Amino acid sequence: MNTLINGIFKRDMALAFRQRSELAQPLMFLLMVITLFPLGIGPGPVTLQKIGPGVIWIAAILSSLLAMERLFRDDFWDGSLEQYMLSGQSVAAIAAVKVLVHWLVSFLPLALFSPLLALFLNLTVDMYIALMLTLLLGTPLLSLVGAIAVGLTVGLQRGGVLLALLLIPVFIPLLIFATSAVDSAALQLPYRAQLAIIGAMLMLAMASAPFAIAYALKVSQN
């Protein structure tokens, strides 16, 4: 079991860095969206500070949709996914590893670029700290919940539009609580309640999403 899991982790990480163009697309899309907003609404520091958290989170959600479609795509088309099903190993554990790899290659670069984004959008130090905390708690939730929808649509030729229709409404509560936390930080108000809600959603997703992903993959194989 551990050998298979380690092998899948190393294989997926190597494959992700081998396909550098696909790896860079979501991050470039995010940077382009965040760059275009100040050009469209003006460079006023107060305005940028007000819309900055929402812009970053909306860009993160949209860029995640670009990366999610390939989460199980290669394994489905080369037959690896079917082999995982027949191996007798826990499909939920395999799905959890693949979600972890997706988060590492798709959202960890966002955390590394976040100081530059905060500077670009004139965020204060308190707002940046709140933004980082919401990203660290919220982006794994994006990967976990998104993987369920990806599992259901993996066999479709053009599942990208359906994927967006399924996931964007689900991500709205996360967007609301994340931006609310940063707005509270801007007003020097406590935002532990928002972080606690996001953390609770993450804990629920970590406990249940791998099994839901495994079931979705089995359904898509039939």
Nearest to 59 by CA among 103, 123, 114, 115: 114
User: What pLDDT is attached to residue 199?
Assistant: 95
Q: Which domain holds residue 57?
A: 2-221
Task: Label residue 3 exposed, middle or buried (CB < 10 Å: 0-12, 13-18, 19+).
Answer: exposed
Give pLDDT tens digits for 32-68.
888 888 788 777 778 888 888 888 898 888 888 887 8
**Spatial separation of the C-alpha atoms in residues 150 and 89, rounded to whole Å:** 21
**What domain count does the chain have?**
1
Q: Give me the average pLDDT of each 10-residue run along the chain (222 residues).
A: 70 69 76 82 79 87 81 77 78 87 84 80 88 92 90 74 84 93 91 95 94 86 68
User: What pLDDT is attached to residue 55?
Assistant: 87
Task: Label residue 155 exposed, middle or buried (CB < 10 Å: 0-12, 13-18, 19+).
Answer: middle
Give pLDDT tens digits for 160-174.
677 888 888 999 999
Burial 51-73 (b: 16+ CB within 10 A, else e): bbbbbbbbbbbbbbbbbbbbbbb
Extract the tokens encoding 107.
């959202």
Extract the tokens encoding 7.
């092998």
89: region left, alpha or beta (phi > 0 left; psi from -120 to 50 alpha): beta
Total residue length of the chain? 222
Given a contact cutoff of 8 angstroms between Cβ atoms, the answer to whether 146 and 167 are in contact is: yes
